Structures are given as C-alpha cells and as structure tokens.
Amino acid sequence: MPGLRPGTADSADAGDAADLELETVRRRAAEGGDPAALSMLGALLLRRGDLDGAERHLRAATAEGDRSAANNLGVLLHQRGYADEAAGWWRIAAVAGSPAAAHALGRYHRERGDEPAAEYWLRQSAESGHALGAYALADLLEHRSDVGAERWFRAAAERGHREAAYRLARILDGRAPRSRAESLGPGGVETSVRELRAAAAGGREGSGPGREAEQWYRQAAARGHRRAALHLGTLLEARGESQEAARWYLTSAKDGEPRAACALGFLLRDAGDTDSAAVWWRRAAQEGDGNAANALGALHADRGESQEAERWYRTALDHGDVNGAYNLGLLCAEQGRTAQAEQWYRRAAYAGHKEAANALAVLLLQGGDAAGAEPWFSKAAEAGSVDAAFNLGILYAGRDEDRTAFQWYERAASAGHTDAALQVAMALLRDGDEEAAERHLRVAVRGGSAEAAFRLGALLDRDEEAREECEEWYGRAARQGHRRAQVRLGMLVAERGDVVEAAHWYREAAEAGSRNGAFNLGLLLAREGSEPEAALWWARAAESGHGRAALRLALLAARRGDLTEGRHWCDRAVALGPPEVAERAARLRDALQQELTA
C-alpha cells in the first residue's frame, strides 16, 4: 500500500519502541487526565496521520491550557483546510510563548498579504531562538530589500537551517569583489553555469566576504543543498581546485541539479575526457539546461557532425538559451549558408545577444551593406561587445573619420582588445605622443600582438640605453613569425658579430617572403664568400621589388662580363629605386651600353 515500506530488523525494533511509547502515553493520559500526556499523545497520533484521534486528545489538552497542544491543534486544522481556525489556536499558543506557533501564525499572515502582522509574529518566533522563524523573518525582510535579512539568515544558519546557510552565502558572495549581477540572469535569476563559472573566475579569493560565503556554502552543501554544492564547486574551480570542485559538482548533479551536471561536463572536457563530458552534458540538456545543449552542439561541430550540432543548438534554443540561435548562425556561416546565418543572427540579436549583433553586422558589411551594418555594430558595442567597438573603429577609419574611429578603438582598448590597443598606439605615434603610445603597445603585447611587439621594439630602438629591451621585443615578434622584426633582429645581432644568428633570422624572413630579409641574407653570404648563393637571394629580393638587390645583381653581372644581364638588372634597379640607387644603376647601364657598342 502507498506509504508503507518493508523494514529491516532495526526499523521493526524502532516501530515496537514507538508503539510501546504510544501505549505508555495513552495509559497515562487515560488514567490521570494529565494535559501534558494528552498533548504528547495527540502529537504522536498527528505524526502518524491519525487526525481524528489526535484532534480529540489535543482539544482536551488545550482545554487545560497546554500551549504545545494549541500549536499542534493549529497544525492539524491547517492540514484539514481550516486555516482561519488554525490561526486562532496558533495565536493562543503564540501569546502563551510558543515560538513554533508564532512562526506558523507569521506565515499565515504573510500568505494573506498582511506583512506587518507577519513580521510581528515572525520576529517573536525568531527572537525566541526558533530557526524556522528566523529564516521566515529573513525571507520577508529580504523580499523588502531590508538589510536586516542577513542577521536572521545568519541566526537560522547557525541553528543548522541549510536554506538559510545557502542564502546567507549568496548575500556574502554578492559582496565579494565583483558585481553579484555577474552571476545572475535577467531579474536576478540564476540562468546557467556559464555565468556562475565566469563570476567565480572574476576574483573572489582572498576577500573576507568570499571566504565566509564559502564556509556557508560548505555547511549547506554538506546538508544536501544541491545549489550550494554547485556554487561551492564554482568557487573551488576558480581557485584551481578542480578535483574537489568535481566532487561537489557530482554531488549536486546526482541530486538533480542540471547546472552542476553541465559544469562537471566542462571540467571533464578541460581534462580531455570529452566522452564523459558528453554524458553529463546530455543529462543536463535533457533536464532543460540550454548551456549544456550548446556545449554538446559545439562538441559535435568540432567533430564535423554538423547535423548533430544543429540538433543540439536547436534544443538549446528550445530551452530558452539564445546562444543556441547564435551558434546556429555560426554553423550556417561556416557552411556558406549566408541567408540562414543572417536569420539566426538576427533572432539572437533581437533577443539581446551582443555578439550575435556584431556577427550580423559583419555579415552585412561583407555583403556590402555598410549602412545596415552600422546600427548593429553600435547596438552590440553599447551592450558591451568589445569586438563590435573595434569593428566600429575600422568602419569609421575606412570613412576617414579618424577622430570617431579613435574613440571606438580607445573604448575597445580600455576593455582589453589587443588589436584596438595597437590601433590606438599607432594613432598616438602619428600624433607624436610616444609615451602614451608605448603604454598601449605594452597592453597589445600582453595580448600577444606580434605587430605591437615589433613596433614597441622600433620605438625603443631609438634609445641606445633601451637597446637590450628593444632586442627582447624584436625577438618576441620574430619568434611569432613577424618578418620585419626578423630582419631587424638579424641586423642587431649582426652588429654585435653573431653572424650565425643573423643569418638564421634573415633566412626566416626571406623564406617567409621578405625582400629585405633576402637582400640582407645575400649581403651576409657575400661577405662570408658565398657569392653564388648570395646572388640567388638577391634575385629573389629583386624579383619582389628590391632595387638595391637588382643593383647588386647588375654589378655581379658586370664583373662577370655578362653585359646583357647587367643591363637587365640595371633597368630593374632604375625602375625600382630608390633615387640614389636608380641614379647609380643608370650610370652603370650607360657604361655597359658603351661597352656593348664599342
């Protein structure tokens, strides 16, 4: 029968003991008419579901003034649907000093919208040390944005109330060094583990509120609070304590928290176990977690399984995650389905997805619709898209509106956009503000920009005292494949006599297509006695438009007596310049012509 379960020997013994206790109490009540015994008997019957038997004994006890019986009679009547009569008995018990009755009466008044009466009785209960009363009072005060809520959540939490511990932790967490709203969705509602992980990574370690929040999360999680376990996991993951974070995520996920299952999936993916990650993401997605569905879509997209990717992105969208529409747009764009990509980007953009708005603007701009693109760039930038701010800078720069372009570049740079910081630095260099330019170049270098490293090196190259640091930045850019930095680094090391390293960097640049690298490598080889190989590199440089290389080849041909080839390279040098090279090449050509006609 429903409600009955087979028991073990221990549970049978416990049942016998309960029956014995009930029988003893019944005898005492029957024989002596003791109000306390009647009250206890009524409470036992109430717990066992015998409402008729319980009511008879509780009414008898209340008639003798037993306040516990009055409270329990109120509970019984409330269960039977007689809320107003229940409130009358709770009032009698509460006036007599019952914290439990004051709590029940406070909740009764709150349910009916009488908050002043609710607060009065809940405060009576809370101040008497009743954990449920303290929690209910805190909940009421927090609903009114009353700072006093924290005190009563703390009081309830200290008495072992797990929901109070969790909500106290959320309050303290909100005071950590980042905005609480970072971990919340619209209206302050937690939406996905994506925001939780991002907020946790925002830097709460070391803060007093953050440490105390963790303690209360731990207390609530240890008592089986699945959301507390989730938040504890995000804190631990942000500190790099992935193993313990995984344990709490697992605990929360097994208790039915889909966001924890999703977070566990990300941890497993980061550890390289994508198959196990997919298991947890699928579980979370099936329970309505859009973030997990998006993760599954991305996993299938990375594997080239576009149909499965699309299915999961659509599932994410069905679960209310607008990232699903954005990801569908990305998928369609990768497949060349531009019209469909635009539709998905628009859907996400209209829902407030800033990166979708930026992607839509890029798509429109690529299609030649600059007028249609600009409003979407602006909307995305105003919503906080750093890429959109940078793209607006490019858009205005293309129109020669340098002042407006600079403002957008500067805005993106202040948010850490590497390429924007480089553009700001270049604009400042043009204006002669080298000090400010250097600051922005260093920001861009930290973001990994090889061009910024080269330009920082070039800026420091003007200062003899900064030559060592200058070489460091050229080296960083050169190792990233920056050809001009490779040439300049080769020149610096050649100056101090390191021919081998110089040749290495010239060759790297030349093989990547640098005509200056090819020319300098030729000079180095010629000085080392390898003139035939030098000629090969000069030829490559000259064919790429290097006038000095063409002049060198003309001189080599003249020394060999190959007047026709000499004239050919002279013609190239004259055409390529610069002026002093063209002048020398013209004189040499005239001399060769005289010899040919002599």
Rounded CA separation 553/540 (Å): 11
Per-residue pLDDT tens digits for 96-109: 999 999 999 999 99
Question: Is a pLDDT exceeding 90 seen at residue 408?
Answer: yes
Residue 429 parent element (H or E): helix 418-430
CB 316 within 8 Å of CB 323: yes
Q: Give the pLDDT score at 407.
A: 96
> Which whole number is the average pLDDT over 300-310?
95
Domains and CATH numbers, the chain: 161-181+191-321 (1.25.40.10), 473-541 (1.25.40.10), 545-598 (no CATH)
Rounded CA separation 355/332 (Å): 16
CB 440 within 8 Å of CB 451: no
Question: Is a pLDDT exceeding 60 seen at residue 180?
Answer: no
User: 67-76, 169-178, 282-291, 320-329: which range is least confident on average?
Assistant: 169-178
Q: Give the pLDDT score at 201.
A: 56
Per-residue pLDDT tens digits for 23-76: 566 656 556 678 888 888 889 889 989 999 899 989 999 988 888 999 999 999
Q: Which two tokens stand for residue 61?
A: 């006890």
Burial class of residue 505 (count of CB atoms within 10 Å of its CB; 0-12, 13-18, 19+): buried
Over the chain, what is the mean pLDDT?
90
> Which whole number is the average pLDDT over 349-359?
97
Q: Give the pLDDT score at 188.
A: 34
Q: Identify the residue with better confidence: 441 or 21.
A: 441
Q: Give the pLDDT score at 598.
A: 58
- C-alpha triplet 229, 231, 237: angle, nearest 5°: 100
Question: Is a pLDDT exceeding 60 seen at residue 12?
Answer: no
Rg of the chain, C-alpha, whole Å: 39
Q: Give the pLDDT score at 1.
A: 31
**Cα 142 from chain centroid?**
28
pTM equals: 0.74
> Which whole number is the average pLDDT over 158-187?
73
Rounded CA separation 470/236 (Å): 41
Q: What contacts 82, CB < 8 A, 6 or more positions away?
A: none
> Which whole number is the average pLDDT over 544-568?
94
Residue bearing tokens 């993401």 = 281
